[in-house]
Structure 1
Amino acid sequence: MPDQAAAARDAAEEASALSHPPVAPDATAAYGAHPDQVIDFYAPRGGAGHVPSGAEAAGTAPLVVVLHGGAWRSRYDRRHVTPFADFLARRGFAVANVEYRRGETDATATGSATGSTQAVAAGSGSGSGSGSAEASAAGAVGATGSTDASGGATPVAGRWPETFDDVAAALDALPALAREALPRADVNRTVLTGHSAGGHLALWAAARHLLPADAAWRTDRPAPLRGVVALAPLADFEVAEKLAVCEGAARQLLGGDEHFALRRPYADPSLLLPTGIATTLVQGRTDVVVPQAVAESYADAAAKAGEVVGLTLLEDVGHFPLIDPAADACAVVAEEIAQLAW
């Protein structure tokens, strides 16, 4: 258990990260029919010195795909990372901020999913997921979860298989959607990033070619990515569960005790190695939400599989500064992305 000082520091860092007003995207596109199957796009704005002159003259920019965190729970949607997405866009990147279906609550587990931040036009799925149709509840989910219709019930982490369906479908549809929404985006220079639970999804999405043969999400070749930058990711489910990360969120994501062991090979990034894709983990040493040991365990598993994974450890940094534009740690994240993208 974190001590009181660590808990107070984490609360202050979270408050800072979530204090920024949401930033509206330049465009939004649906990759499926469900209201949560949507991607927000941010055009590169430049101005921070990260765009090499040659690339700037050519009018193209790398595409950074952002997968938000929040323990795969419905009370956190993509709005809380829109300032982070805008921060990256202002540093010269084209940005795609992906929404996906998250967990319901015990009170609504047999009903509809909580709503997304904005309505989207109905469309067809990309074909990589099951695409089960479910009605959206009225009302948007706030960045801090203030409108989670749980009625005090315990929030459930993730939805099996829909969370994975959506991430696979979004990544499959993304190149075509990005070309239309962001003409300056160079989809051949795509970097995948994600924070916390989103960091898990980023690592998982980069490892789909290593999934078991019967997995619906499996691809026949590695994703065409420049790399992955996973921020405080839930990268090793066994270690995360031993540490009770996010109140057992990884176990909930897979459907509870009866499914955990059976579904881990389909979902746990630490079991899906080596990916052959350049990967860096960025982790705060004082993170009490997803402790450093989780990232270290993934890096160790990668090394045992014959793959070198970068691990950038930041002193006196907790969980939330990694996505807080006001924090120095966020600039470090942008630098790590730039090293892979340019």
Structure 2
Amino acid sequence: MSEVLVVVGPGVVADAALLQEIATREFATLGVSGTLVHARDASHVLSLVNGAASAVVLPGPSDEVRALIGRPLGAVVWVDVERADGVMAGAGAAHLHGRGISGLAWGIRHAVHRVRHPSRRIAYGELPDQWGELYLPGGAEGGQAVPVVVLVHGGYWRSIWAADLMEPLCADLAGRGFAVWNLEYRRPDLHGWHATTADVAAGLAALTTISEAAAALDLGKVAVVGHSAGAQLALRAAADRAAQSGALGGEARIVLAVSLAGVLDLVQGDRRRLSSGAVGSALGAPAPAPAAASAPGHPADDEAARLYAESSPLLRVPLHVRQLIVQGTADDLDLVDFSRRHARAAEEAGDDVTYVEMPADHFDVIHPGTPIWQSTARAIVSALRH
């Protein structure tokens, strides 16, 4: 591919040598050539971006530079190292934010992925975060229908993390002959828990409409795969659909739900204060008292008990859908605990469960080159091809 240009805007608070180190490392890892330039002002940024085939820009605080973010300047990846909610990038551009200085690495990866693996962005609603990226394997357009893998990203339900996290798996799974629907959704830190769950359900239901337009999706063979917090959303959505006779929009059927290092026990996730209280913050309520959580038929006036009971995969077993629970032993030990206990409880409740545990950390499960992902991919292939 053409050279990747990284532009550092005026006023960016970061060590220049560290930015260069990050960029150089990512260029080498991705096998691309690249250049990092420090821009003097907005006009300099604009001139650099206009001449670049692939650009990543750290805009910094300058109002003049930030005004460029919303302009239609092509496939620019704007990266704010600080959190910057509500920023709308221009047509064809992307905006990543709030990931600190490592956001530069994520921005370079995203820029390279977009060039190497084109996809179609399809809205399933009218709001900015209601979309997915559809990847089709070679020859799928107008040809034989192919099984579908739906990806649901994690990030502890926080808006600084987005669908770009799952892009390596998009390329890997499309290369294995699957259609891939990489789902974005409203996060509860800005929109509330019910908006998040409604969006995941709507994104899954949209497969019917997408199939009618693409004419390439086998809606009888759908796998939903979630990472970390996304695994909770994926398994909860699969359980919801199984309770509705397995239908999505009247046609598509989930035959496999996959948890990759999932947050599968929300009650203990809140009580153990995972990621500085991410669970309670996302759901908008603390976990119920032990008596309320374990009592059959939760009290009608105990909204927290109902909320956790419908949201936590461990409290939903049996899910009535085949499950693949994948966990790395070098991950957060609480997640190891959650995965083991969920797999055991689901199996004891009568679900068809495969448990895969291997030496791996939290992100190895979404890295195509790792043994744990290779084992996961083989299991997904087996489930969707038979």
TM-score, with length taken from structure 2: 0.61
Unaligned runs of 5+ in 1: 1-13, 47-54, 114-158, 211-218
C-alpha distance in structure 1 between counterparts of 2:372 and 2:223, whole Å: 18
C-alpha distance in structure 2 between counterparts of 1:209 and 1:67, whole Å: 16
Counterpart residue identity of residue 44, structure 1? P
Within a 5 Å distance, the mapping from 1:1-342 to structure 2 comes to 18=106, 20-22=109-111, 23-24=113-114, 25-45=118-138, 59-104=144-189, 159-181=192-214, 183-209=215-241, 220-223=244-247, 224-257=253-286, 260-288=304-332, 291-315=335-359, 317-342=360-385
C-alpha distance in structure 1 between counterparts of 2:325 and 2:272, whole Å: 19
Could you say what secondary structure the match of 1:291 adopts? helix
Counterpart residue identity of residue 127, structure 2? H
Q: Indicate conservation of the 8 Å contact 1:226/1:277, yes or no.
A: yes
Larger relative contact order (Cα-Cα within 8 Å, sequence gap ≥ 6)? 1
Q: Indicate conservation of the 8 Å contact 2:188/2:283, yes or no.
A: no
C-alpha distance in structure 2 between counterparts of 1:186 and 1:323, whole Å: 24
Would the alpha carbon gap of residues 233 and 257 (structure 1) be closer, same or farther in structure 2, given more than 3 Å must change?
same
Could you say what secondary structure the match of 1:226 adopts? strand
Q: Indicate conservation of the 8 Å contact 2:273/2:279, yes or no.
A: no
Q: Comparing both structures, which one devotes a greater share of its residues to strand?
A: 2
C-alpha distance in structure 2 between counterparts of 1:234 and 1:318, whole Å: 14
Shift of 1:193: 0.6
> Identity over the aligned pairs, expressed in percent?
33
C-alpha distance in structure 1 between counterparts of 2:271 and 2:357, whole Å: 21
Could you say what secondary structure the match of 1:161 adopts? helix
Shift of 1:328: 2.9
Q: Indicate conservation of the 8 Å contact 2:270/2:286, yes or no.
A: no
1:148-202 Cα distance to aligned partner (Å, 9 max, x none): xxxxxxxxxxx22100110111111222213424x33212111111101111111
Q: Comparing both structures, which one devotes a greater share of its residues to helix?
A: 2
Would the alpha carbon gap of residues 256 and 326 (structure 1) be closer, same or farther in structure 2, given more than 3 Å must change?
same
C-alpha distance in structure 2 between counterparts of 1:332 and 1:179, whole Å: 32
Q: Indicate conservation of the 8 Å contact 1:45/1:91, yes or no.
A: no
Unaligned runs of 5+ in 2: 1-98, 248-252, 288-302
C-alpha distance in structure 2 between counterparts of 1:62 and 1:199, whole Å: 20
Count matched residues. 259
Higher Rg: 2
Q: Indicate conservation of the 8 Å contact 2:155/2:161, yes or no.
A: yes
Could you say what secondary structure the match of 2:188 adopts? coil
